[in-house]
Amino acid sequence: MELLDIAIVGCGPAGLSAAVNAKIRNKVIKVFGAEVCSPKLASAPWIDNYLGFHQITGTELRDLYLAHIEEMGIEIYRTRVDNIVPMDSTFMLAAKTDMFEAKAIIIATGVSQTSYLPGERDFVGRGVSYCGTCDGPLYRSKTVAVVAYTHEGVEEANYLVTVAEKVFFLPQMKDYHGLSSQVEIVNGRPLGVLGEGHVTHLALKDQQLEVAGVFIFRDVTPAEQLLSGLNQFQGAIVVDRSMATNIPGVFAAGDSTGRPFQLAKAVGEGLVAGLSAASYIDKSASIK
Sketch out the chain's domains with CATH numbers.
3-113+221-287 (3.50.50.60), 121-217 (3.50.50.60)
What is the C-alpha to C-alpha distance for residues 33 and 35, in angstroms, rounded to an integer?
Answer: 7
Q: What is the pLDDT of residue 224?
A: 79
Amino acid at residue number 127: G
What is the C-alpha to C-alpha distance for residues 125 and 112, in angstroms, rounded to an integer?
Answer: 20
Q: What is the pLDDT of residue 288?
A: 64
What is the DSSP code (8-state) at residue 172? -
What is the C-alpha to C-alpha distance for residues 179 and 237, in angstroms, rounded to an integer?
Answer: 35
Q: How many CB atoms lie within 10 A of CB 70?
A: 11
- The reply to whether the predicted model has a pTM over 0.85 is no
How distant is the alpha carbon of residue 144 from its chain centre? 22
What are the distances in angstroms from CA 28 to CA 135, 156, 245, 277?
Answer: 30, 31, 21, 12
Phi, psi (degrees; rounded to nearest 5) at 257: -95, 0
3-state secondary structure of 9: strand
According to DSSP, the residues that pair with 146 across neighbouring strands are 169, 215
Q: Starting from the edge strand earliest in sequence, which strands make up the sheet with 184-185, in order?
A: 128-129, 213-217, 143-148, 166-171, 184-185
What residues in the chain have per-residue pLDDT under 50? none
What is the DSSP code (8-state) at residue 106? E
Q: What is the pLDDT of residue 254?
A: 97
Per-chain mean pLDDT for the chain: 93
Amino acid at residue number 270: G
What is the C-alpha to C-alpha distance for residues 9 and 105, in angstroms, rounded to an integer?
Answer: 8
Are 267 and 18 contacting, i.e. CB atoms less than 8 angstroms apart? Answer: no
What are the distances in angstroms from CA 264 to CA 47, 169, 270?
Answer: 11, 39, 10
Count helices and strands (H / E) in the chain.
7, 17
What is the DSSP code (8-state) at residue 115? P
Amino acid at residue number 153: G
∠ Cα 128 131 134 (to 5°): 110
Q: What is the pLDDT of residue 285?
A: 84
What is the C-alpha to C-alpha distance for residues 137 and 153, in angstroms, rounded to an integer?
Answer: 17
Are 6 and 27 contacting, i.e. CB atoms less than 8 angstroms apart? Answer: yes
